[in-house]
Chain A
Amino acid sequence: EVQLVESGGGLVKPGGSQRLSCAASGFTFSTYNMNWVRRAPGKALEWVSSITSSSNYIYYADSVKGRFTVSRDNAKNSLYLQMNSLTVDDTAVYYCTTDPGDGGHWGQGTLVTVSS
């Protein structure tokens, strides 16, 4: 069974940093592209970042470019999102996901709250 488990969320002050992790199991992680998607309170889903299976290609939404860094460790079956210079607009539940063509699996999400 495919499982994606996010961790690392919490309360952080504006301007602060947070690192999210996603532990994957039940599939060959090293062969899957991975994504981060977020949902702010009362808002629609928003794609954040994608990374290909070998980390050869990385993409970011304009809203996070230059502040967020996605990475992965295929030996540890793990995906990461380093978030710097956080603002209140980054408050959201963050999900790690596989591509729709790869089953479209989502984790349960981890809440990041940016507030003073």
Chain B
Amino acid sequence: AIQLTQSPSSLSASVGDRVTITCRASRGFSSGLAWYQQKPEKAPKLLIYDAVSLESGVPSRFSGGGSGTVFTLTISSLQPEDFATYYCQQYHDYPLTFGGGTKVEIK
């Protein structure tokens, strides 16, 4: 199984900050990587698919990058509504796997 390790597990940031979350895979693949945002008591929301494609309706301040074993989610200018937990997921191969999550908190 492809294991995904997210870093950091949590971070504190201010409105307007640039934030980057990293997802490292135990073996490489070219795409098949998604990023989700989850707020308390809500279902996860898809932000990025195929590693770099922005889901329709998602603000352009979110971007995805990387391939192989290192993938990133970047928020160019953090907004108040972005404080949440973020997960990466690989769907390149079964079993599908998620990262451990990154909680983004207000500094």
A residues contacting B by CB (< 8 A) are 35, 37, 44-47, 50, 59-62, 95, 99-101, 103-109
Number of interface residues of B (CB under 8 A): 21
Q: List 13 A-B contacts (CB under 8 A).
A: A44-B87, A45-B38, A46-B98, A47-B89, A59-B96, A95-B44, A100-B46, A100-B49, A101-B50, A101-B91, A103-B55, A108-B43, A109-B43
Residue numbers in A under 8 Å from B44 (CB-CB) = 45, 95, 106
Residue numbers in A under 8 Å from B80 (CB-CB) = none
B59 within 8 A of A: no
Contacts A95-B43, A104-B55, A108-B43 given; indicate if A47 touches B96 (C-beta within 8 A): yes
Measured in the bound complex, the distance between the Cα atoms of B49 and A95 in whole Å is 19
Measured in the bound complex, the distance between the Cα atoms of B36 and A47 in whole Å is 14
Contacts A45-B87, A99-B91 given; indicate if A104 touches B46 (C-beta within 8 A): yes
Measured in the bound complex, the distance between the Cα atoms of B94 and A53 in whole Å is 16
Least CB distance from B9 to A in Å reads 10
Q: Which of B50, B55, B98 contacts A44 (CB 8 A)?
A: B98
Residue numbers in A under 8 Å from B49 (CB-CB) = 100-101, 104
Residue numbers in A under 8 Å from B65 (CB-CB) = none
Measured in the bound complex, the distance between the Cα atoms of B96 and A60 in whole Å is 9
Query: Are B87 and A100 in contact (CB-based, < 8 A)?
Result: no
Query: Are A35 and B95 in contact (CB-based, < 8 A)?
Result: no
Measured in the bound complex, the distance between the Cα atoms of B1 and A61 in whole Å is 10
Contacts A100-B91, A104-B34, A104-B36 given; indicate if A47 touches B99 (C-beta within 8 A): no
